[in-house]
Amino acid sequence: MIIINPNVAVDLLSICGVPVQSNVPLTAVSSWRVGGRAKILVKPQTEEEVIALRKYISKHQLPSLIIGNTTNLLFADCNIDAIFMQIGSGFSQVKLSGSTILAKAGVWVPKLARLALQAGLTGIEHTCGIPGTLGGLVVMNGGSQRKGIGDSIVYVKTIDANGNTKIYSREECRFDYRSSIFQKLDEVIVEVKLQLESVANKKIMHNEMLAILRSRSAKFPRKIPNCGSVFVSNPAIYKQSGAPGKVIEECGLKGVIKGGAQISKDHANFIVNTGTATASDILYLIHVVRNEVYKKTGCIMKVEPKYIDRFGNIQEI
């Protein structure tokens, strides 16, 4: 495994023109507020900067990781020897044309849902309460009410590991429930085109979005660090026993604590950081839930977040 030397930070600044941070505490980056330190963190603001970064990283065969708002990542407790590329605020532009939206990957999802509402366009209102950026939402085919953003996508534009630009049609994205082809590709999503529909009554749509937000506010922990839902809804378990949170609660696990991590008292499909949690604490609770739910239902629950190891590798939990 290649170890990143200090000269890399200097090269990135001079060759790619991207501001570089070194030894960044991941507790300040992670939605869960856990993790060691990132060796290097860069925040490209343009596609040209992403291309230059990817070419440099590929040429020198350096370990790297692409991150957004980190709502589906669990960083290792140790220092991570990799270049973290976080899509910056420069990727927050949105263009509307009729019933289509062309949006950069760094757009805040709730903001995008509000813009669609203001334009009288329906199709993505189910995303209005999801904290995260559009790129990450596309990777996970995220949404709520058992819907996914993939249903509204025309194409996704990416930059691959060698700095080449690629375009994927909706069919090529292979969207499924909380999954897409991008979970297996080493590519940076930079732009997304959405096809929505005009709505006759914006007030009805607005009320629907308010209802979604009220429901999320009542059920989900908001002020305590977390990553959102931990376990993906399993059709077999759902048919037999209901949603993940309900099943976990029926196993008597709601409120269970390990170190500074806790299975939320508000919603059992959330694991929160009460202040001193580590990645190990969170992993422990995940395995406890999996084991108990398996005993009860005979099904293994899939974990939505991915684990990032000491070299920046993405691993299933």
Tell me if residue 229 is catalytic: yes
Which candidate in 125, 187, 292, 304 is catalytic?
304
What confidence tens digit (pLDDT) does each residue in 203-230 have? 999 999 999 998 888 778 878 999 988 9
Domain 90-199 shares a fold with domain 222-308: no
If 0-12 CB within 10 Å is exposed, 13-18 middle and 19+ buried, where does residue 5 land?
A: exposed
Measured CA to CA in angstroms, residue 105 lies from 102, 109, 196 at distances of 10, 10, 17
The matching CATH number, chosen from 3.40.50.300, 3.30.300.30, 3.50.50.60, 3.30.465.10, for 90-199 is 3.30.465.10
Segment 89-120, tens digit of pLDDT: 789 999 999 999 999 999 999 999 999 999 99
The whole-number pLDDT of residue 6 equals 65
34 within 8 A of 74, measured Cβ to Cβ: yes
Query: 7-86 adopts what CATH topology?
Result: 3.30.43
pLDDT in tens, 132-152: 899 999 999 988 878 899 999
The CATH-assigned architecture of domain 222-308 is Alpha-Beta Complex (3.90)
Catalytic choice (178, 179, 180, 187): 178
pLDDT at res. 2: 56
Instruction: Provide the pLDDT for residue 233.
Output: 82
C-beta separation of 33 from 70 below 8 A: no
pLDDT the model gives residue 158: 98
Which of the residues 31, 64, 152, 229 is marked catalytic?
A: 229
Q: Where are the beta strands (DSSP E) in 27-181?
A: 37-42, 64-67, 73-75, 80-86, 94-97, 100-104, 121-122, 153-159, 165-169
In tens, the pLDDT along 38-79 reads: 999 999 999 999 999 999 999 989 899 999 888 889 999 999
pLDDT of residue 178: 85
pLDDT, tens digit, 9 for 90 and up, residues 4-25: 766 777 777 777 788 889 899 9
pLDDT the model gives residue 3: 62
Q: How far apart are CA 78 and CA 36, in angstroms?
A: 5
Domain coordinates of the chain in residue numbers?
7-86, 90-199, 222-308
Annotated catalytic residue 31: no
What integer is the mean pLDDT of 241-252? 91
Does 47 participate in catalysis according to the annotation? no
Q: Rounded to whole angstroms, how far apart are CA atoms 224 and 220?
A: 10
